[in-house]
Amino acid sequence: MRKPIKFYVDEHVATAVVKGLRRRGAEVLTVLDAGLRSAPDEEHLARVQTGGYVLFTQDNDFLRLHATGFTHAGIVYAPQGTAVGDIIRGLMLIHQLLEPGDMQGHVEYL
């Protein structure tokens, strides 16, 4: 049986994205849920690695960490200004088609 991707969203992501994903059945953990508001980016990536989550962010600092070789369970990035509907559709496509192992150490751009 296929194991769906769970998303961890950082504090730059609109609440409407979280609500939209949850309404569609995706498991979503927010920075606030995890008690990591204002934590360093490295701590967020460590949290997703241990929790089996893929990070969704609109903060390009995570792309820089990826470029340095920082270990992570997967990052999905959309630039600021991307429409909420486009983000939800893109994340749900990833949720429906990929498994957590497919995202290990990978960045997917929306």
Residues paired with 86 in a beta bridge: none
**Does the model's pTM come out above 0.85?**
yes
Class of CATH domain 6-109: alpha beta
> In the chain, where are the structural domains located?
6-109
Q: Is 91 left (phi over 0), alpha (psi -120 to 50) or beta?
A: alpha
Distance CA 37, CA 86 (A): 25
Per-residue pLDDT of the chain (110 residues; tens, 9 = 90+): 778 999 999 988 999 999 999 999 999 999 999 888 888 888 888 888 888 899 999 999 999 999 999 889 999 999 999 999 999 999 999 999 999 999 999 999 99
Distance CA 39, CA 43 (A): 6
